Amino acid sequence: MNKKKPVTPFGWAIKRRLTELQMDQKTFCEQHGIPPYRLSNLIHGTRKATRFRNQVADLLQIPDELR
């Protein structure tokens, strides 16, 4: 049984933008000092993580309507 959480619209925006930048999640996290588990939380919506949410959205230039 697959227990993975579905990807949120914000999560898809993160994945799409990282693909455009040709960067994987691990590299992005290392470059910007974001714990990888927090990025995963944001992608799957398992925690709000407001501080990191705003930081990731700003760094990836994600529009406000997707935040």
Torsion-angle region of 33 (φ positive above 0: left; ψ -120 to 50: alpha; else: beta): left
In 1-67, where does DSSP find H-type helix? Answer: 9-20, 25-32, 36-44, 50-60
Which pTM was predicted? 0.91
- Measured from the Cβ of residue 21, the count of other Cβ atoms closer than 10 Å reads 12
Task: Give pLDDT, residue 19.
Answer: 98
Q: What is the identity of the amino acid at 49? A: A
Per the prediction, the chain carries an average pLDDT of 94
Q: Please check whether residue 29 is in contact with residue 39, taking contact to mean a CB–CB distance below 8 angstroms.
A: yes
Average pLDDT over residues 48-67: 93
Task: Give pLDDT, residue 67.
Answer: 84
